[in-house]
Amino acid sequence: MDFKTIDDVDLSGKRVFVRCDLNVPLEQEAANKYSVADDTRVRASVPTIKKLLAQGCTPLVASHLGRPKGERNLAFSLRPVASVLEKLLEAKVHFAEDCVGAPVGAALSEANPGEAVLLENTRFYAGETENDPAFAADLARPADAYVNDAFGTCHRKHASTYGAAELLNPAVAGYLVTEEVGYFLKLLRDPARPLIFVLGGAKLSTKLGVIKNALDNVDKFIVGGAMAYTFLKADGEPVGESMVEDDFVSEAKAILDDAGPKLFLPRDHVVAKAVDDPGSATTVDTRDISIGYMGVDIGPATACIFADEVKGAATIFWNGPMGVFEVEEFAGGTRVVGQAIADAEGETIAGGGDTVYAINKLGIAEKLDHISTGGGASLKLLEKGTLPCLEVLDRT
């Protein structure tokens, strides 16, 4: 890694703009009253903020939450996060009613060194996602330095992740970003072998770049989920009503030709007339998927084959479930493959929202070496070898 981290600079006593990923799920308790339903992402931000507090800094913690589309909406307010963050930090957290302007100044005037300020949702302003220079300047104005600890947003050039970093010096990475990037660069540059990518989920299009970039580096690709049906159609197999991205069939065919026997596709399938009709489910071989039925999970024989392949891996990267995991009748493939990944002796790295959901439902999180906080960012890093918001940080 050629960017500087929080340990490379002295931030003692400074006001530090800290971009975290506090995009947590909220649950409504009453009218205009919400609480944090899952504090995983808040916990992930704690080590960096604690480091700053220990140096006598005043962290200005910034984040987005949801998609309020540039408008103030209490359903997306970060206020409920303040009390959770305060408890985890064991330090006072002052909540600013806005992320720019007078409310930030008011919160800062109340904060003593060693206390934090949590800013309101940056996406209450359209200038955030547009990386508007004026909005970025407003965000940066109260701060002396910048720390990016929001790995899940590092692939997006937004005002709080990119524009503000351009304006503040020093601009460095926090502990979460440093850890995440370290794991994925090791996958690209120096993995223990054999290296296996287990890829699933709905869309091949989101993973095409990763597969192309990793073709020469990965020893085996195991492909399940709906994305498998674009490959199967490219291979001339019947897919019935299964989800297929027709615009990417030709690219899927090129990957099949280049990958050869290192790319594993399902041999049997759980199919149904519709996702919401589990009673119609049956198991068929690939060549027997008929019109009127769609693939909703890998079949049991495929699940066993995939699990056996995973057992021999020294390094595993997992992104995407093997089927419609949310429906119990279609969760078998993900359960078998996920458990095999958890039981594997090699290093295991997983990422992606649906993957994390499956991991938590299976109860295997503690058996994996690393669960990424950024599905899209991790895929983009594996595709490009870097991310825009890493490029704007100070270099070593």
Q: What percent of the chain has pLDDT over 70?
A: 100
Q: Which helix H or strand E contains 118, and what residues bound it?
A: strand 116-118
Q: What is the pLDDT of residue 346?
A: 94
Residue 368 pLDDT > 80: yes
Q: Between the CA of residue 201 and those of 145, 265, 375, what are the distances in Å?
A: 39, 13, 12
Render pLDDT for 115-169 as a digit per residue (tens, 0 to 9): 999 999 999 999 999 999 999 999 999 999 999 999 999 999 999 999 999 999 9
Q: What is the pLDDT of residue 375?
A: 86
3-state secondary structure of 172: strand
Q: What is the pLDDT of residue 207?
A: 94
Global pTM value: 0.91
| Count of CB atoms situated within 10 Å of the CB of 89 | 19
Looking at residue 99, what DSSP letter applies? S
Residue 236 pLDDT > 90: yes
Render pLDDT for 21-75 as a digit per residue (tens, 0 to 9): 999 999 988 877 889 998 989 999 999 999 999 999 999 999 999 999 999 999 9
Domains and CATH numbers, the chain: 15-176 (3.40.50.1260), 183-383 (3.40.50.1260)
Bridge partner residues of 315 (DSSP): 195, 347
Give start and end residues of each alpha helix (H) in the chain. Answer: 40-54, 79-89, 102-110, 126-129, 133-140, 164-167, 175-189, 208-214, 227-234, 249-259, 300-311, 332-343, 353-362, 375-384, 388-391
Q: What is the pLDDT of residue 113?
A: 87
Residues annotated catalytic, as ranges: 41, 203, 353, 376
Q: What is the pLDDT of residue 31?
A: 79
* Mean per-residue pLDDT over the chain, rounded: 95
Residue 83 pLDDT > 90: yes
As to burial, measured by CB atoms within 10 angstroms (0-12 exposed, 13-18 middle, 19+ buried), residue 238 is middle
Render pLDDT for 374-392 as a digit per residue (tens, 0 to 9): 889 999 999 999 999 999 9
Residue 15 pLDDT > 90: yes
Residue 247 pLDDT > 80: yes
